[in-house]
Amino acid sequence: MSTNPITTQCCIVGGGPAGMMAGYLLARAGVDVVVLEKHADFLRDFRGDTIHPSTLELMHELGLLDAFLRLPHRKVERLVGEIGNVRVTMAEFTRLSTACKFLVFMPQWDFLDFLADHGRRYAGFHLMMNAQATGLIERDGRVVGARANTEAGAAEIRADLVIGADGRHSTIRERAGLKVDDLGAPMDVLWMRLSRRPDDYAEVFGHFEAGGILIMVDRGDYWQCAYVIQKGSADELMKRDIADFRRMILALSPWLGERVNELKSWDDVKLLTVALDRLPQWYRPGLLCIGDAAHAMSPIGGVGINLAVQDAVAAANILTEPLRAGAVTVDHLARVQARRQWPTRVTQAFQRAIQNRVIGPVLAGAQPKPPLAVKLLDWFPALRGIPARFIGIGVRPEHIRTKEAA
Ligand SMILES: Cc1cc2nc3c(=O)[nH]c(=O)nc-3n(C[C@H](O)[C@H](O)[C@H](O)COP(=O)(O)OP(=O)(O)OC[C@H]3O[C@@H](n4cnc5c(N)ncnc54)[C@H](O)[C@@H]3O)c2cc1C
């Protein structure tokens, strides 16, 4: 990397799960990488905090698993749902054949800090915090870098390849003029924390009732709660007294009792809008989008981080050698899309099916009933390995194919 302008082999925009994993893997393989992250740190509450067995498997392949699991985390072996008044175990990760037969809840900033710390061990890893990409530099129809506002002022980062990993509101895909297909999402999510008591349930817990859905994630001394609402209805709801919202939560989970009073005002509740979309084409000459920038994922199944990380691994597997040789072509970029497009489509089809058949009708007031597939999981525990595999590993899992540079 040099300064004024900065030159590097690969400029990655966005220090989320996709960008940090791609940056780490490329630097580990001897590629010079600049990662631009617009925030000063990774501290963000209410981001997805799930690390799936497939990501843990990658940590295992990288020889980082023991160090990773020394960070504070909670293990989750099964996912449980309450549909009306029927309680069902929907997935059991203990049935997987991976090194870790559990899912881990870990604050996302710890995961990203871990990747940053390990990335810094390589000379070619340059993470710039407080650096917001504002546009692309193009020459003869090819992207040759990115412009950014950094702590030192406006900067140009010249690169053989720009990777857009800047999430579902991606500036990069917009500046590149890449077309987005919006698949629609009928819901948004209100996030909040409520205290957890030692004798509460100890699982990820979803409660479905006519008119409302509450997902509760066990975070040790508190529950991370997601109250699902109809898309676009937050403004109206948040004009009402917070006491109304407390009553809505109690209607779904009366056992929370006076704990709902911990929500003193709407300041204690965060709105997260949900998007489900994808790019028909993830690349242009000199530019590739991965993670949510290529395909925004809904929170259903908590698989977005998993997919973002898997994209990063596929990108590193396919692009390391061309990057080292300074010879990345559109064919290489097309190979990354071809590899990851199918898992994305399958996962989004699953999320759409749940949106349309379960979440949409329930939010519109239909009384939820466990579908036959869910009843089968209850009757035949061995079947719980199937959703565990889909959620925990996903389709077409990636493996580390790059070697650490000498
Ligand atoms: C309500 C909600 C809950 C969710 N819960 C889960 C969950 O529990 N588990 C799960 O797996 N998935 C969950 N998801 C999905 C998950 O958050 C995403 O799929 C995942 O974070 C995508 O990772 P990413 O690295 O592609 O993008 P992001 O995580 O969005 O990271 C993008 C990064 O780019 C940075 N950035 C953006 N613009 C710029 C710029 N111009 N310049 C520099 N940096 C920039 C951002 O600050 C950010 O750090 C949830 C989604 C929603 C909406």
DSSP string, 73-97: -EEE-EEEEEETTEEEEEEEGGG--
Query: What three-state secondary structure class fits 10?
Result: strand
The Å distance, Cα 237 to ligand 1 centre, comes to 25
Nearest CA to ligand 1 atom 19: 304
Which residue out of 292, 309, 348 has the highest number of ligand 1 atoms within 8 Å of its CB and is therefore the one to mutate? Answer: 292
- What pLDDT, on the 0 to 100 scale, is given for residue 13? 98
Could you give the CA distance from residue 302 to residue 390 in angstroms, rounded to a whole number?
A: 11
Ligand 1, residue 132: give the atom nearest the CA.
42
The atom number, within ligand 1, closest to the CA of 39 reads 47
Can you give the pLDDT at residue 84? 67
Cα 314–chain centre separation? 16
Alpha-carbon distances, residue 389 vs 82, 102, 313 (angstroms): 21, 11, 19
Atom 37, ligand 1: residue with shortest CA distance = 166
Q: Summarize pLDDT for 231-274 with one digit per residue, the tens.
A: 999 999 999 999 999 999 998 888 889 999 999 999 999 998 99
Reported as a single tens digit per residue, the pLDDT across 297-336 is: 998 888 999 999 999 999 999 999 999 999 999 999 999 9
Ligand 1 center–CA 215 separation, angstroms: 19
Give Cα separations from 160 to 52, 138, 276, 402 (angstroms): 32, 11, 30, 19
Supply the residue whose CA is at minimum distance from atom 45 of ligand 1: 14
CA–CA gap between residue 148 and residue 154 (Å, rounded): 6
How many other CB atoms sit within 10 Å of the CB of residue 263?
19
- Residue 131 CA: nearest ligand 1 atom is 43
- The pLDDT assigned to 260 comes to 95
Supply 9's token pair. 């082999």
Instruction: Please list, in sequence order, all residues whose beta carbon lies within 8 angstroms of the beta carbon of residue 308, skipping any fewer than 6 positions away.
Output: 16, 17, 18, 21, 165, 290, 291, 292
Contact in structure between 164 and 281 (CB atoms under 8 Å): no
What pLDDT is recorded for position 46? 63
d(CA 312, CA 115): 13
The two beta strands, 86-92 and 6-13, are: unpaired
Among protein residues, the one with the nearest Cα to ligand 1's atom 17 is 48
> What lines the ligand 1 site, CB under 6 Å?
13-19, 36-39, 47-48, 50, 132-133, 165-167, 171, 189, 272, 274, 291-293, 297, 299, 302-306, 308
How does DSSP classify residue 302? G
Closest CA to 341 of 316, 314, 305, 317: 314
> In degrees, to the nearest 5, what angle opens at C-alpha 119 toward C-alphas 113 and 124?
145
Q: How many beta carbons lie within 10 A of that of residue 258, not counting itself?
A: 8
Q: 26, 33 in Cβ contact below 8 A?
A: yes
Closest residue CA from atom 13 of ligand 1: 48
Q: What is the pLDDT of residue 352?
A: 93
Q: Which ranges of the chain have pLDDT less than 50?
A: 2
With b for 16 or more beta-carbon neighbours within 10 A and e for fewer, the 320-346 pattern comes to: bebbbeeebeeebbbbbbebbbebbee
pLDDT of amino acid 78: 87
pLDDT score, position 198: 84
User: What pLDDT shows up at residue 371?
Assistant: 75
Q: Which atom of ligand 1 is nearest to the CA of 19?
A: 25
- Return the number of other C-beta atoms located less than 10 Å from residue 5's C-beta: 13
Predicted pLDDT of residue 329? 98
E strands within 119-234? 125-128, 132-139, 142-150, 153-164, 181-182, 187-195, 204-209, 212-218, 222-230
- The helix (run of H) or strand (run of E) holding residue 287 is strand 287-289
β partners of residue 128: 36
Which atom of ligand 1 is nearest the CA belonging to 303? 11
pTM, full prediction: 0.93
Residues 334 and 115: their CA atoms lie apart, in Å, by 27
